[in-house]
Amino acid sequence: MTEILDIAKRDGRWTECPSCSETIITARLQEHLWVCPHCDHHFRISAKDRIAILCDEGAFVEMDAAVHRIDEQGPPSDEAIRCGRASIKGRQCVLGVMDFTFKGGSMGVAVGQAVLDLMQGAQRKGLPLVVFCSSGGVRVQEGIWGLLQMLRTVHARTQTEDVPMITVFTDPTTGGVSASFAGLADIMIAEPGAKIGFAGPRVIEATMKCTLPPDFQDASRLMANGFLDMIVHRHRMRDTLASLLQWFCPA
Protein backbone atom coordinates (compact mmCIF):
# COMPACT_ATOMS: atom_id res chain seq x y z
CA MET A 1 0.00 0.00 0.00
CA THR A 2 2.77 2.41 0.96
CA GLU A 3 4.48 1.65 -2.34
CA ILE A 4 1.31 2.51 -4.32
CA LEU A 5 0.97 5.76 -2.36
CA ASP A 6 4.58 6.64 -3.10
CA ILE A 7 4.05 6.09 -6.84
CA ALA A 8 0.83 8.17 -6.76
CA LYS A 9 2.68 10.97 -4.95
CA ARG A 10 5.57 10.84 -7.39
CA ASP A 11 3.35 11.19 -10.45
CA GLY A 12 1.35 13.97 -8.81
CA ARG A 13 -2.01 12.20 -8.37
CA TRP A 14 -1.71 12.40 -4.59
CA THR A 15 -0.14 15.19 -2.57
CA GLU A 16 1.12 15.08 0.98
CA CYS A 17 0.28 18.08 3.14
CA PRO A 18 3.56 19.49 4.54
CA SER A 19 1.71 20.66 7.63
CA CYS A 20 -0.43 17.69 8.80
CA SER A 21 1.15 14.95 6.61
CA GLU A 22 -2.26 13.77 5.36
CA THR A 23 -2.27 12.42 1.82
CA ILE A 24 -4.82 14.17 -0.38
CA ILE A 25 -6.01 13.43 -3.93
CA THR A 26 -4.45 16.25 -5.96
CA ALA A 27 -7.63 16.88 -7.97
CA ARG A 28 -9.55 17.31 -4.71
CA LEU A 29 -6.90 19.66 -3.37
CA GLN A 30 -7.19 21.70 -6.56
CA GLU A 31 -10.99 21.91 -6.16
CA HIS A 32 -10.31 23.10 -2.61
CA LEU A 33 -8.18 25.94 -4.08
CA TRP A 34 -4.98 24.31 -2.83
CA VAL A 35 -5.98 24.54 0.82
CA CYS A 36 -5.59 21.37 2.88
CA PRO A 37 -9.10 20.10 3.76
CA HIS A 38 -7.72 18.57 6.99
CA CYS A 39 -5.66 21.37 8.54
CA ASP A 40 -6.32 24.44 6.37
CA HIS A 41 -2.69 24.69 5.30
CA HIS A 42 -2.43 27.07 2.33
CA PHE A 43 -0.21 25.47 -0.30
CA ARG A 44 2.08 27.69 -2.35
CA ILE A 45 0.59 28.12 -5.81
CA SER A 46 1.88 29.36 -9.14
CA ALA A 47 0.89 32.72 -10.61
CA LYS A 48 -1.14 30.85 -13.24
CA ASP A 49 -3.24 29.04 -10.62
CA ARG A 50 -3.61 32.22 -8.57
CA ILE A 51 -4.96 34.15 -11.54
CA ALA A 52 -7.38 31.32 -12.38
CA ILE A 53 -8.71 31.27 -8.80
CA LEU A 54 -8.99 35.02 -8.44
CA CYS A 55 -10.09 36.61 -11.68
CA ASP A 56 -13.36 36.44 -13.55
CA GLU A 57 -13.17 33.91 -16.36
CA GLY A 58 -11.10 35.23 -19.26
CA ALA A 59 -10.81 38.61 -17.55
CA PHE A 60 -7.04 38.71 -17.09
CA VAL A 61 -5.36 40.55 -19.95
CA GLU A 62 -1.60 40.33 -19.73
CA MET A 63 0.26 43.64 -19.96
CA ASP A 64 2.35 43.71 -23.11
CA ALA A 65 6.07 43.15 -23.15
CA ALA A 66 6.68 44.98 -19.90
CA VAL A 67 9.02 42.32 -18.67
CA HIS A 68 12.47 42.42 -20.23
CA ARG A 69 14.34 39.23 -19.74
CA ILE A 70 17.98 39.25 -18.89
CA ASP A 71 18.82 35.59 -19.30
CA GLU A 72 18.16 32.98 -21.91
CA GLN A 73 16.24 30.30 -20.02
CA GLY A 74 12.65 29.52 -20.84
CA PRO A 75 10.11 31.21 -23.06
CA PRO A 76 10.14 35.04 -23.31
CA SER A 77 7.23 35.66 -20.97
CA ASP A 78 8.83 33.77 -18.07
CA GLU A 79 9.60 35.88 -15.04
CA ALA A 80 8.88 35.90 -11.34
CA ILE A 81 5.83 38.12 -11.81
CA ARG A 82 2.82 38.25 -14.13
CA CYS A 83 1.10 41.55 -14.73
CA GLY A 84 -2.15 42.50 -16.34
CA ARG A 85 -5.48 44.19 -16.23
CA ALA A 86 -8.06 42.09 -14.44
CA SER A 87 -11.60 41.97 -13.24
CA ILE A 88 -12.55 40.44 -9.88
CA LYS A 89 -16.32 39.90 -9.53
CA GLY A 90 -16.77 42.70 -12.05
CA ARG A 91 -14.42 45.13 -10.27
CA GLN A 92 -11.60 46.36 -12.51
CA CYS A 93 -8.02 46.58 -11.30
CA VAL A 94 -4.42 46.25 -12.38
CA LEU A 95 -3.06 42.97 -11.04
CA GLY A 96 0.47 41.71 -10.40
CA VAL A 97 1.07 38.16 -9.20
CA MET A 98 4.52 37.05 -8.12
CA ASP A 99 5.52 33.46 -8.78
CA PHE A 100 7.69 31.71 -6.21
CA THR A 101 8.18 28.77 -8.57
CA PHE A 102 10.32 30.99 -10.81
CA LYS A 103 13.68 31.52 -9.08
CA GLY A 104 12.03 31.88 -5.67
CA GLY A 105 9.99 34.87 -6.82
CA SER A 106 13.15 36.92 -6.59
CA MET A 107 13.14 40.57 -7.60
CA GLY A 108 15.72 41.36 -10.24
CA VAL A 109 15.78 44.13 -12.83
CA ALA A 110 12.90 42.61 -14.83
CA VAL A 111 10.63 42.26 -11.79
CA GLY A 112 11.52 45.79 -10.64
CA GLN A 113 10.56 47.06 -14.09
CA ALA A 114 7.31 45.10 -13.97
CA VAL A 115 6.40 46.63 -10.58
CA LEU A 116 7.08 50.10 -12.03
CA ASP A 117 4.91 49.30 -15.04
CA LEU A 118 2.13 48.08 -12.75
CA MET A 119 2.14 51.27 -10.69
CA GLN A 120 2.40 53.60 -13.69
CA GLY A 121 -0.16 51.56 -15.65
CA ALA A 122 -2.65 51.77 -12.76
CA GLN A 123 -2.06 55.53 -12.51
CA ARG A 124 -2.60 56.06 -16.24
CA LYS A 125 -5.76 53.97 -16.29
CA GLY A 126 -7.09 55.41 -13.02
CA LEU A 127 -7.48 51.91 -11.57
CA PRO A 128 -6.55 50.41 -8.19
CA LEU A 129 -3.55 48.09 -8.02
CA VAL A 130 -3.48 44.65 -6.41
CA VAL A 131 -0.18 42.82 -5.99
CA PHE A 132 0.16 39.26 -4.71
CA CYS A 133 3.64 38.95 -3.24
CA SER A 134 5.55 35.71 -2.96
CA SER A 135 9.27 36.15 -2.87
CA GLY A 136 12.50 35.19 -1.19
CA GLY A 137 13.70 38.77 -1.73
CA VAL A 138 16.11 40.44 -4.07
CA ARG A 139 17.66 38.35 -6.90
CA VAL A 140 21.16 38.25 -5.47
CA GLN A 141 22.59 36.81 -8.70
CA GLU A 142 22.08 40.27 -10.19
CA GLY A 143 24.24 41.85 -7.48
CA ILE A 144 23.86 45.57 -6.95
CA TRP A 145 21.32 45.75 -9.80
CA GLY A 146 19.08 43.41 -7.80
CA LEU A 147 19.48 45.47 -4.63
CA LEU A 148 18.72 48.68 -6.53
CA GLN A 149 15.21 47.38 -7.28
CA MET A 150 14.23 48.10 -3.66
CA LEU A 151 15.08 51.77 -4.15
CA ARG A 152 13.56 51.82 -7.61
CA THR A 153 10.18 50.35 -6.58
CA VAL A 154 9.95 52.52 -3.44
CA HIS A 155 10.68 55.61 -5.53
CA ALA A 156 8.03 54.54 -8.06
CA ARG A 157 5.52 54.25 -5.23
CA THR A 158 6.26 57.82 -4.09
CA GLN A 159 5.50 58.94 -7.66
CA THR A 160 2.21 57.02 -7.76
CA GLU A 161 0.87 57.67 -4.26
CA ASP A 162 -2.54 58.51 -5.70
CA VAL A 163 -2.96 54.88 -6.87
CA PRO A 164 -4.94 52.84 -4.31
CA MET A 165 -2.74 49.82 -3.69
CA ILE A 166 -3.51 46.51 -2.01
CA THR A 167 -0.78 43.97 -1.36
CA VAL A 168 -1.44 40.38 -0.42
CA PHE A 169 1.40 38.66 1.40
CA THR A 170 1.43 34.98 0.54
CA ASP A 171 3.83 32.36 1.80
CA PRO A 172 6.65 33.40 1.82
CA THR A 173 7.21 37.13 1.44
CA THR A 174 10.63 37.96 2.75
CA GLY A 175 13.78 39.97 2.14
CA GLY A 176 13.87 42.93 -0.22
CA VAL A 177 10.28 42.55 -1.38
CA SER A 178 8.73 42.76 2.11
CA ALA A 179 11.19 45.59 2.84
CA SER A 180 10.31 47.66 -0.23
CA PHE A 181 7.12 48.17 -2.27
CA ALA A 182 5.10 45.38 -0.60
CA GLY A 183 5.04 47.28 2.68
CA LEU A 184 3.92 50.54 1.07
CA ALA A 185 0.37 49.60 0.17
CA ASP A 186 -2.77 51.29 1.49
CA ILE A 187 -4.23 47.93 2.52
CA MET A 188 -2.05 44.98 3.49
CA ILE A 189 -3.57 41.51 3.58
CA ALA A 190 -1.98 38.13 4.28
CA GLU A 191 -2.98 34.54 3.72
CA PRO A 192 -3.16 32.44 6.92
CA GLY A 193 0.19 30.96 7.90
CA ALA A 194 2.20 33.10 5.46
CA LYS A 195 5.80 33.64 6.50
CA ILE A 196 6.55 37.35 6.32
CA GLY A 197 9.81 38.94 7.33
CA PHE A 198 13.17 40.27 6.29
CA ALA A 199 16.07 38.08 7.44
CA GLY A 200 15.48 34.43 8.35
CA PRO A 201 15.04 33.39 12.01
CA ARG A 202 18.37 31.53 12.15
CA VAL A 203 20.28 34.67 11.13
CA ILE A 204 18.38 36.76 13.67
CA GLU A 205 18.92 34.23 16.47
CA ALA A 206 22.64 34.11 15.73
CA THR A 207 22.94 37.90 15.61
CA MET A 208 20.71 38.75 18.58
CA LYS A 209 21.83 35.73 20.66
CA CYS A 210 18.26 34.94 21.63
CA THR A 211 15.59 32.30 21.01
CA LEU A 212 12.67 33.38 18.88
CA PRO A 213 9.06 32.26 19.49
CA PRO A 214 7.74 29.48 17.20
CA ASP A 215 5.24 31.80 15.47
CA PHE A 216 7.95 34.35 14.66
CA GLN A 217 7.33 35.87 11.20
CA ASP A 218 3.93 34.18 10.98
CA ALA A 219 1.09 36.29 9.54
CA SER A 220 -0.90 35.98 12.79
CA ARG A 221 1.94 37.50 14.82
CA LEU A 222 2.35 40.36 12.36
CA MET A 223 -1.39 40.96 12.53
CA ALA A 224 -1.29 41.00 16.35
CA ASN A 225 1.52 43.55 16.22
CA GLY A 226 -0.25 45.87 13.80
CA PHE A 227 1.79 45.24 10.66
CA LEU A 228 -1.17 43.88 8.67
CA ASP A 229 -4.73 45.03 8.11
CA MET A 230 -6.28 41.60 7.80
CA ILE A 231 -5.68 37.89 7.30
CA VAL A 232 -7.95 36.44 4.65
CA HIS A 233 -8.55 32.75 3.93
CA ARG A 234 -7.96 31.82 0.27
CA HIS A 235 -11.60 30.75 -0.06
CA ARG A 236 -12.70 34.29 0.83
CA MET A 237 -9.98 36.21 -1.02
CA ARG A 238 -12.00 36.86 -4.17
CA ASP A 239 -15.02 38.20 -2.23
CA THR A 240 -12.83 40.30 0.06
CA LEU A 241 -10.86 41.89 -2.76
CA ALA A 242 -14.03 42.58 -4.73
CA SER A 243 -15.61 44.37 -1.78
CA LEU A 244 -12.41 46.37 -1.12
CA LEU A 245 -12.12 47.31 -4.79
CA GLN A 246 -15.62 48.74 -4.84
CA TRP A 247 -14.35 51.60 -2.62
CA PHE A 248 -11.99 52.60 -5.42
CA CYS A 249 -13.92 51.77 -8.59
CA PRO A 250 -17.69 51.74 -8.21
CA ALA A 251 -19.14 49.55 -10.96
Query: Which chain residues interact with Zn ion by CB under 5 A?
Result: 17, 19-20, 36, 38-39, 41
- 7 vs 20, beta carbon nearer Zn ion: 20
Closer residue to Zn ion in complex, CB, 124/233: 233
Shortest distance (Å) from residue 134 CB to Zn ion: 19
Residue 54 beta carbon to Zn ion: minimum distance, rounded to whole angstroms:
22
Residue 17: CB minimum distance to Zn ion, A: 3
Q: How far apart are CA 237 and CA 242, in angstroms?
A: 8
Shortest separation between residue 26's beta carbon and Zn ion, angstroms: 14
Nearer to Zn ion, 155 or 235 (CB): 235
| CB of 32 or CB of 41, closer to Zn ion | 41
**C-beta closer to Zn ion: residue 42 or 157:** 42
Q: Write down the least CB distance from residue 52 to Zn ion, Å.
A: 22
